[in-house]
Amino acid sequence: MNDPMIRLEGVTKRYPGQDKPAVEHIDLDIPEGEIVIFVGPSGCGKTTLMKMINRLIEPTSGRIFMEGKDVTRVNPDHLRRRIGYVIQQIGLFPHMTIRDNIATVPKMLGWDGARTDARVDELLDLVGLDAAVFRSRYPKQLSGGQRQRVGVARALAVDPPVMLMDEPFGAIDPITRDRLQNEFLRLQAEIGKTIVFVTHDIDEAIKMGDRIAILRDGATIAQYDTPKHILSAPADDFVADFVGSGASLKRLNLSRVRDVELTFWPTAAVGTDRAEVRSVLRASDKGAVLLLDGNDRPVRWVTARDIDRTDVPLEQAGLEPEAIVEPQATLQDALNLMLDSSHGAAVVVDGNGTYLGAVDFATVAHAVQAMRREAREQLRAAAEGSSHPGEVAAS
């Protein structure tokens, strides 16, 4: 492994008047380009630990390195301008337009107006907001999900190598949260930042993290490892307890739609005549045909009965495909949508909405079996002592 992007060395935080330190002697390497999650019960010191990286909280002792340089003594404001920061409440400035919010750090770094404007538009586009519409709006005119995206855009303004995110999806309703998480993962695949992400939600940690540090009281590290290893080989009872029951179900959060083999449902272009659609359906073992528009985007599921209905055009018969996922969605997302869908299948599309295939129950069951097999093999290997899964700190 290369030099870590961030290295914590014996980082400790003591508050006066408290006999136990809030954070006690943490050593931790955070590799470049990964999402590292700090997760643990409330009061375990995970947020304190994160805030010591941008020195919103000054460590009592220990040193912090960023890109190999000790940043424990540099000017904290200059340090923070190189570290994106997103908090749960997002903290957009209500009296500034979206443009000015995003331009906060560029302005401090003395960028000129034209460069800043171009960057603001680029970022809004990156987080999926129409720049022409949103740049001159105020935060109060935005929905929670839109504000969250602006918060991310603002943190990315000067393309900092590191981002700190403190429960960034915590204050958002579960459905929007799922979507934003997926969007964020897709964004991260593009930008490859080093991200430290704090959450109390182990499911979120498993879904979002390349690595997870499970912290217990006093921010001591119970286990620091990949989600896969934590699920299949928890370091101790505390970790096993914290991960909780339903580890197989949680593993669904580890596999993404793009990692499994898609099934192919019969498709037909909008405008194909009924007889031909019927023969396509008959030729397959499925119960419905997916109609695609001129850009191969899914329009309708049609069944044999819909084909027989002649009172409406075929593309208005049948049901709209509501269960639609993108390749970076987790199998858990896909499964959730599938359970509510009419044909037991989630349609997979790419970022432009083009049809790629489908995920159905058979796909999921197959993936779960494969993961269980893999986990068993790893456990066996670990038991034989031939290898140890990841670095297991403390315990």
Partner 1 sequence: MIVGVSFWEYLTDQSDRIFELTIEHAQIVLISVGIAVVFGVGLGMLTYRTERPRIAILAVTGVFITIPSLALFSLLLSPLGLGTKPAVVALVMYALLPIVRNTITGLREVDPAIVESAQGMGMGRWRRLTRIELPLAWPIIITGIRVSTQILVGIAAIAAVINGPGLGKDIFRALARVGTPTAVNQALAAVLGIVALGLLLDLAYLLVGRLTTSRGVRE
Question: Are 221 and 189 in contact, with CB atoms under 8 Å apart?
Answer: no
Of 78 and 305, the one with the shorter C-beta distance to partner 1 is 78
The reply on whether position 54 binds partner 1 by CB under 8 A is yes
89 forms part of the interface with partner 1 (CB under 8 A): yes
Q: Is 161 in the site for partner 1 (CB under 8 A)?
A: no
* 52 near partner 1, rule: CB under 8 A: no
Burial class (CB in 10 A: 0-12, 13-18, 19+), 113: exposed
Nearer to partner 1, 75 or 284 (CB): 75
Among 15, 43, 95, 370, binds partner 1 (CB under 8 A): 95
57 binds partner 1 (CB under 8 A): no
Question: Six-digit token pair at 261?
Answer: 């083999």
Q: Specify the residue, 155 or 307, whose C-beta has the smaller distance to partner 1.
A: 155
Q: Please provide the distance, in angstroms rounded to a whole number, between the alpha carbons at the two ends of the chain.
A: 24
Query: What's the min distance (Å) between Cβ of 183 and partner 1?
Result: 21
Cβ 259 to partner 1, closest distance in Å?
A: 35
Residue 66: CB minimum distance to partner 1, A = 14
Which one among 24, 65, 96, 394 touches partner 1, defined by CB under 8 A? 96
Determine contact, residues 326/341, Cβ cutoff 8 Å.
no
Task: Determine how β-strand 267-269 pairs with β-strand 289-292.
Answer: parallel
Of 3, 10, 61, 78, which lies in the binding site for partner 1, with binding defined by CB under 8 A? 78
The nearer residue to partner 1, 94 or 294, going by C-beta atoms, is 94
- Whose Cβ is closer to partner 1: residue 77's or residue 311's? 77
With residues binned 3-state (H G I as helix, E B as strand, rest as coil), the percentages for the chain, rounded to 5, are 40, 20, 40
Tell me whether residue 85 or residue 169 sits nearer to partner 1 (CB atom): 85
- Give the neighbor-by-neighbor strand order of the sheet with 23-30: 23-30, 6-13, 61-66, 69-70
Report the alpha-carbon distance of residue 254 to residue 234 in Å, rounded. 16
Q: Which stretch binds partner 1 (CB under 8 A): 72-80, 263-271, 324-332, 362-370?
A: 72-80
CA distance 22 to 359: 46
Positions in 210-229 near partner 1 (CB under 8 A): none
108 near partner 1, rule: CB under 8 A: yes
Amino acid making up residue 214: I
| Helix residue ranges per DSSP H, the chain | 46-53, 76-80, 98-102, 104-108, 113-126, 131-134, 144-155, 174-191, 202-208, 227-232, 237-243, 247-251, 274-283, 304-308, 331-340, 361-383
Instruction: Out of 81, 135, 193, 343, name the contact with partner 1 by CB under 8 A.
Output: 81
Q: Given the rule CB under 8 A, which of 13-21, 35-43, 84-92, 309-317 is the region that contacts partner 1?
A: 84-92
Please give the Cα distance from 140 to 337 (Å, whole number).
Answer: 31
Based on the shown chain and the rule CB under 8 A, indicate whether residue 140 belongs to the binding site for partner 1.
yes
Helices (H) and strands (E) in the chain, counts: 16, 16
- Residue closer to partner 1 (CB basis): 88 or 303: 88
Comparing CB distances to partner 1, the nearer of 104 and 272 is 104
Applying CB under 8 A, which residues contact partner 1?
Answer: 54, 56, 76-81, 85, 87-97, 104-105, 108, 138-140, 154-155, 164
